């Protein structure tokens, strides 16, 4: 059955046909919600709300726009509704000044205020043709720095920038999604550009990865994981840029500079028990899954996802997400046995 046949069947109440109808768009819609919300879990919830709304409102779809545009309209509105219900998500670097590495951390902030990483497998559409009207390439538009900048935009500006610069919608199409005029869309986009230009790093992670090359990237990530497993603070410090940063949400403290990071690692994270690492990918960036030894389980259990930001042939920032519940989303093992 082609899309027209599936649409007709779905309008007659065939839920299976509706599932097949929207299946080709699910991943890109979830990525759209993730850009809007900064949280993979929130994006999943928003997408479920959007698809439920699409199913209930399918009879009203008259085909004046493409099915894809209609689904983006519903998903955008579901994301805007979610934004109104909860606080803005940020990274610790946007939350306050850097901390003293010699002081103990306060209690973590457990409220849903932190941006969350998302596995590459949930963000990219295979063989997805690049839209020539888009300003950002697909992988650039999910980097942690870009997601963080988006959260600083007012919700409708955020939607405008994503629709126009990431997805390549025209001003007219974007105006239809947000029920406004092309003139107001152009105005909102100009304001959004000013914020993005101030906050976004000049060099994207994709540019850094291309300049480094696959072999050097593997060497860097392998060296990083090995240094953590052996608690080698000096080796980690040697990989860092002079002005590198390290943060560990849900703790709000973060550390700036190679010396401060080394002092913090030596005093706290690397002063504890054994650990194991598994390479992965998050937000189009190299990442590593961190397992900590649990004596009761007699195994290494999920502890954190490390996402690395690169600069030249070194590490510009380390974001350690202390969210073991995210391991399942990344398709990572539930445990690593003692001999693993």
pLDDT digits (tens, 9 = 90+) for 113-155: 899 999 999 998 755 555 666 788 889 999 999 999 999 999 9
pLDDT for residue 109: 82
Residue 130 has a pLDDT of 55
Banded pLDDT at 250 (limits 50, 70, 90): very high
Reported as half-sphere exposure (CB side, CA atoms, 13 A), residue 281 has a value of: 16
> In this model, does residue 230 exceed pLDDT 70?
yes
Which residues are CB-neighbours of 114 under 8 A, at least 6 positions away? Answer: 89, 90, 91, 92, 249, 250, 321
Strand partners, 294: 299
| Structure tokens that stand for 268 in this block | 């706290």
* Residue-level pLDDT at 272: 76
| Alpha-carbon Rg for the chain in angstroms | 22
Mean pLDDT of 66-79: 96
Give the per-residue pLDDT at 72: 97
Model pLDDT, residue 37: 97
Residue 165: CB atoms within 10 Å: 18
Residue 263 has pLDDT above 70, yes or no: yes
Indicate the range of 11-15, 24-28, 30-34, 133-137 predicted with least confidence.
Answer: 133-137
Q: Is the pTM of this model over 0.75?
A: yes
CB atoms within 10 A of CB 88: 14
The predicted pLDDT at position 146 comes to 97
Across the range 14-40, mean pLDDT stands at 97
Quote the pLDDT of residue 185: 98
Task: State whether the Cα torsion 59-62-66-72 is positive or negative.
Answer: negative
Distances (CA, A) of 213 to 14, 61, 216: 49, 47, 6
pLDDT recorded at residue 189: 98
The share of the chain scoring above pLDDT 70, in percent, equals 98
Beta-strand runs (E) in the chain? 240-247, 254-256, 275-282, 285-294, 299-311, 314-321, 336-337
pLDDT tens figures, 161-207:
999 999 999 999 999 999 999 999 999 999 999 999 999 998 999 99
Give the pLDDT score at 304: 97
- Is residue 110 predicted with pLDDT exceeding 80? no
Residue 340 predicted with pLDDT over 80: no
For residue 123, the SS3 value is coil
Helices 15-22, 3-11: crossing angle, 10 deg rounding: 140
Give the single-character DSSP code of 128: P
C-alpha–C-alpha distance, residues 133 and 253, integer Å = 39
Position 126 scores a pLDDT of 59
Domains located in the chain, CATH noted: 3-199 (1.10.1740.10), 205-337 (3.10.450.50)
Higher pLDDT pick, 88 / 249: 249
- Could you give the CA distance from residue 251 to residue 92 in angstroms, rounded to a whole number? 8
pLDDT of residue 132: 66
What integer pLDDT is reported at residue 335 of this predicted model?
A: 97
> How far is the C-alpha of 171 from the C-alpha of 57, rounded, in Å?
25
Residue 38's pLDDT is what? 96
């Amino acid at each position: 059955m082609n899309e027209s046949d599936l649409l007709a069947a779905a309008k007659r109440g065939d839920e299976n046909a509706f599932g097949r109808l929207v299946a080709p768009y699910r991943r890109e819609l979830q990525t759209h919600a993730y850009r809007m919300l900064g949280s993979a879990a929130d994006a999943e919830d928003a997408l479920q709300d959007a698809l439920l709304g699409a199913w209930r409102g399918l009879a009203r779809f008259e085909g004046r726009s493409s099915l894809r545009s209609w689904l983006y309209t519903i998903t955008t509105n579901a994301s805007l509704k979610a934004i109104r219900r909860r606080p803005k998500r940020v990274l610790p670097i946007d939350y306050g000044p850097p901390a003293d590495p010699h002081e103990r951390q306060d209690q973590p902030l457990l409220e849903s205020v932190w941006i969350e990483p998302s596995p590459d497998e949930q963000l990219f559409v295979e063989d997805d043709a690049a839209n020539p009207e888009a300003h950002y390439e697909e992988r650039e538009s999910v980097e942690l720095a870009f997601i963080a900048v988006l959260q600083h935009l007012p919700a409708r500006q955020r939607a405008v920038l994503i629709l126009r610069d990431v997805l390549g919608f025209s001003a007219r199409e974007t105006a239809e999604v947000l029920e406004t005029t092309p003139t107001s869309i152009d105005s909102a986009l100009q304001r959004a550009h000013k914020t993005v230009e101030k906050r976004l790093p000049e060099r994207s992670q994709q540019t850094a990865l291309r300049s480094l090359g696959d072999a050097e990237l593997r060497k860097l990530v392998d060296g990083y994981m090995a240094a953590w497993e052996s608690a080698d603070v000096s080796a980690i410090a040697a990989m860092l840029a002079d002005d590198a940063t390290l943060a560990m949400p849900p703790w709000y403290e973060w550390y700036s500079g190679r010396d401060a990071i080394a002092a913090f690692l030596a005093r706290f994270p690397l002063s504890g028990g054994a650990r194991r690492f598994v390479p992965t990918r998050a937000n189009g960036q190299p990442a590593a899954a961190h397992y900590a030894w649990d004596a009761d389980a007699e195994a290494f259990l999920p502890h954190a996802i490390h996402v690395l930001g690169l600069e030249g042939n070194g590490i510009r920032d380390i974001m350690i997400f202390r969210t073991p519940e995210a391991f399942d989303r990344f398709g990572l093992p539930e445990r690593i046995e003692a001999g693993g």
